[in-house]
Amino acid sequence: MGVLSWPVGGWAQNEPPPAPYSLPWQLRPTPAATVIRSDSNFVVRSPEGGAEAVTLVSMLTVSYRISKGIPVAPFVRLGFLYQDAISSRASAVINPALGASWAINIAPGLRANLFLALALPLGMGGGNAPDRATSAALAAGVLTRSAMDNAMFAVNDFTVFPGLGLSYSRWGFTLQAEATVLQLTRVRGELAAPDASRTNFTSGVHLGYFPFEILSVGAELRYQRFLSNPVAVTRNESVRDNATFAIGPRLHLKGKGFFARPGVSITFPLDDPMRKQRMTILQVDVPVIF
């Protein structure tokens, strides 16, 4: 198996190895694989007329492919956030997410991924009397992840989120697109959380290229939008949607029985509210595939 290939099970001996696949930054990988992935985002916010704050969000994802012949991979994702502002500091464990993805090889180089997950309302900072510093850190954490992982920060809500991804890899390029619908339902904190339910939508496009065998460069455009009208949106229409652009390099290293794909990206906001807060996000991503 070549250094470039994401290991998704063997291929027939009379077939060429699969084309190199560029792993996205915050979109879901389309292959089903056994992976341990550490993924951290760091941002310094300097809003106009406001106080500077530092926010860190770290995610740990573990997935397991059932077998070589069954391209299904259950997963669990855990998260932690920390915020240091001038007036307060806060840290919290956020909602865990669990689910599974199913990879479907449609044609050479063309793959679809069906995804279904749940986010459980077990994160810190929920209930009817939340700590203000923790609530502020959770709100900042949503933007630190480009609003693509909202379910894990909605600590009062139980969330179901199905999604679909499609990728095509050829000639050293990977083009991928995905869409996800999130249905959030409040299960606690009715005095602090005014919305009984919310419907959110996230999407993105990733383009990657391998200039060298051990190096790829990936760029990603992401978009999030509320499909319903939560109270926050009725008060401030600018928080309805969010667009960001990310770019960065990734190494592709082969060890004995595993592949490592460490990478670093920079994310830039394309609109408010992130642009108004002058947010530039550094992401350090270390996936290890077995």
Residue 45 in tokens: 């916010």
What is the helix (H) or strand (E) element at residue 139, kind and residue range?
A: helix 132-144
Question: How far is residue 202 from each of residues 90, 184, 258, measured CA to CA in Å?
Answer: 27, 13, 31
Does pLDDT of 13 surpass 70?
no
Q: What is the mean pLDDT of residues 78-105?
A: 94
In degrees, to the nearest 5, what angle opens at C-alpha 39 toward C-alphas 35 and 93? 105
CA distance linking residue 117 with residue 97, whole number of Å: 7
What is the helix (H) or strand (E) element at residue 152, kind and residue range?
A: helix 150-153
What pTM does this model have?
0.90
Q: pLDDT category, 50, cuts 50, 70, 90?
A: low
What tens digit of pLDDT does each residue of 151-189 get? 999 999 999 999 999 999 999 999 999 999 999 999 999
What tens digit of pLDDT does each residue of 213-257 get? 999 999 999 999 999 999 999 999 989 999 999 999 999 999 998
Does pLDDT of 6 surpass 60?
no
Evaluate whether 32 touches 103 at the Cβ level (below 8 Å): yes
pLDDT for 1: 32
In eight-state DSSP terms, residue 192 is T
Decide which of 15 and 282 is more confident: 282
What tens digit of pLDDT does each residue of 51-66 get? 688 999 999 999 999 9
pLDDT for 223: 98
pLDDT for 4: 38
Q: pLDDT category, 68, cuts 50, 70, 90?
A: confident
Q: If you compute the radius of gyration of the chain from its CA atoms, what whole number of angstroms results?
A: 19
CA distance linking residue 169 with residue 21, whole number of Å: 6
Does pLDDT of 283 surpass 90?
yes
User: Which residue ranges form the domains of the chain, and what is each CATH number?
Assistant: 35-249+262-289 (2.40.160.40)
Decide which of 49 and 154 is more confident: 154
pLDDT for 48: 65
- Compute the mean pLDDT over every residue in the chain, rounded to the nearest whole number: 91
